[in-house]
Structure 1
Amino acid sequence: MRRVLPLVLVLSACGGPASGPRITGQPEPNPTVAVTTSPSSPAARPTLGQAPGDLRAVDWRQATLPAAFCHVGDPVRLRSGTARATSELWGTVEVFLDVDVHYGDVDGDGREEAAISLGCDNTGGTASSQLAFAFVVVRSVNGALELVGEISATTMRDDAPHVPLLAEPRFEKGAITVKELWYRPSDATCCPTAASLTRWSLRDGTLKPDPSVQVS
């Protein structure tokens, strides 16, 4: 898949992250990435088409998914893992399925939800053209795919050479914890050398980031 390559290269090209300069403080809240969550009212949740009870059977490369993390107002229909869309912030963008999909039960109903890794770029096709990444969390309800919430980066250094990446979502009842991989000023776009953990709690039917962040 063409759009899988940028993040795969980012995470693997270094072989192993080298130690960078000592961090003198936590990254600042990211002003360009909106925290996006699902509406608290079940009636207001967008439905995204038909879905089997077992989400592992979904072909996510052809799915319809929201992309609010890229400031795209309407859900996008992926075709072979990509979709062109108009971002209210960046203009013409390409939304792409990135790397893999993770499964776990966050709402405690005994059925798995899916966290789909998505990215968007300015259609340049390089690491420097990447604009944002997110996990879109969805579930199957009465045969329909329904949005639970979007998990996006919550921190970013002003002097970072690249937007933060997201990895390793860990599901538990009532929460998903994700690793935010972010960049020191000296890092190449292939290799972020710093990380923070953000816990997103399911409160009133909405995924919200907890204020505590662990930085390494």
Structure 2
Amino acid sequence: MTLSITNTGRIAALTGAVLVAAACGSPQPGPRISPPSHTSSTTLEPPSRPSPATTKAVGAAPENLRDTAWPNMPIPGDFCDIPGLIHFNGKQEATASSQTWGTVHIYRSDVVYGDIDGDQRDEAAVHIGCDNGGGTGAGQIAYGAVVFRNIQGRLTALGTVKPQKEPSGVHCTLLAKIVMTVGKITAHEQWYRPTDSNCCPTGTASTVWEVRNDQLIAGVPHILS
């Protein structure tokens, strides 16, 4: 049976009305961390799955990395989508340009040590973070720990350990600490449930990174709580 033009028009109109109603009734996602107003992206990208990092020499290395003048050492900015190196010029903080979030505030924190290649000499990892400069927990964007090794007298970044637990709400996952032992790095992560306040993530996870041929390979995050 062939539909008449009148019936066809009625069907099209009814279909359009249903689609409009469905669109109006669909739940909308909550707000993400707001980047500076001139950036085009407002969504935190989930961390990339296991991939090798590229080594990058940033300066001369002392025999013992514990003697490194870290405030004067540049740090790769890939954890916050910053191309090249971040220069702190003797300070704990810096400003840089992220390809995703625009102008961001960078800060260094703890340096941890451990022997990951079994040569009886410690490697180092510098904890680092970035935010939108707003000074509140809601403005936090990304965390990481850049792992360094002395390779032929050069302080060389092997890569960046980043949280692998994907954000479950509007807040990025935190990197609480890392532990470096021969052949692996264990990252302890804190993640936010949708009902958590900015001060207090209640979820915990850990990810074991393998160290192979001076490359860092991320494993699958294990949810602890």
TM-score (norm 1): 0.77
Deviation at 1:64, TM superposition (A): 0.5
Q: Tell me the equivalent position of 2:92.
A: 81
Matched, 1:137 2:147: yes
Alignment of 1:93 onto 2:90:
no
More strand by share: 1
Q: In the alignment, what sits opposite 1:11?
A: none
Look up the match of 1:32: 46
**% identity of equivalent residues:** 36
Partner of 2:193: 184
Q: 1:87 to 1:70 in 2, by over 3 A?
A: same
Could you tell me whether the CA contact under 8 Å between 2:164 and 2:221 is conserved in 1?
Answer: no
Please say if residues 62 and 81 of structure 1, whose CA atoms lie closer than 8 Å, have aligned partners that are also in contact. no
Aligned residue-pair number: 180
Alignment map for 1:124-203 (pairs within 5 Å): 124-158=134-168, 160-203=169-212
- Residue aligning to 2:40: none
Normalising by structure 2, what TM-score?
A: 0.74
Letter aligned with residue 63 of structure 1: M
Deviations along 1:161-214, one digit per CA (max 9) or x if unpaired, are 421111231121110001110111121111111100100001233111112523
Superposition deviation, residue 72 in structure 1 = 0.6
In structure 1, C-alpha distance between the alignment counterparts of 2:160 and 2:136, rounded to whole Å: 24
What is the aligned counterpart of 1:207 among 204, 216, 225?
216
User: What is the deviation of 1:68?
Assistant: 0.3
Q: Which of residues 128, 137, 144 in structure 2 aligns to 1:118?
A: 128
Distance (whole Å) between structure 2 residues aligned to residue 142 and residue 97 of structure 1: 26
The 8 Å contact of residues 60 and 81 in structure 1, kept in 2 or not, is answered as no
1:57 maps to a residue whose letter is D
Structure 2 distance, partners of 1:33, 1:141, is 28
Mapped partners of 2:86, 2:48: distance in 1: 18
Q: Which ranges of structure 2 fall in alignment gaps of 5 or more residues?
A: 1-43
Q: Is the 8 A contact 2:163 2:187 kept in 1?
A: no
Q: Distance in 2 between matches of 1:59 and 1:162?
A: 33
Aligned AA (2:53): S
Does the aligned pair in 1 maintain the 2:108–2:127 contact within 8 Å? yes
Q: Say if 2:117 is the partner of 1:107.
A: yes
* 2:155 maps to amino acid: L
Q: Which position in structure 2 is the counterpart of 1:62?
A: 72
Distance of 2:48 and 2:107 partners within structure 1: 18
Structure ranking higher on relative contact order (CA contacts 8 Å, 6+ apart): 1
Provide the C-alpha distance between the structure 1 equivalents of 2:220 and 2:81, rounded to a whole number of angstroms. Answer: 23
Structure 1 segments unaligned to the other structure (5+ residues): 1-29, 40-44
Letter in 1 for 2:107: F
Q: CA RMSD in A?
A: 1.8
Q: Which runs of 4+ in 1 moved over 2 A?
A: 30-39
TM-superposed deviation, 1:37: 4.5
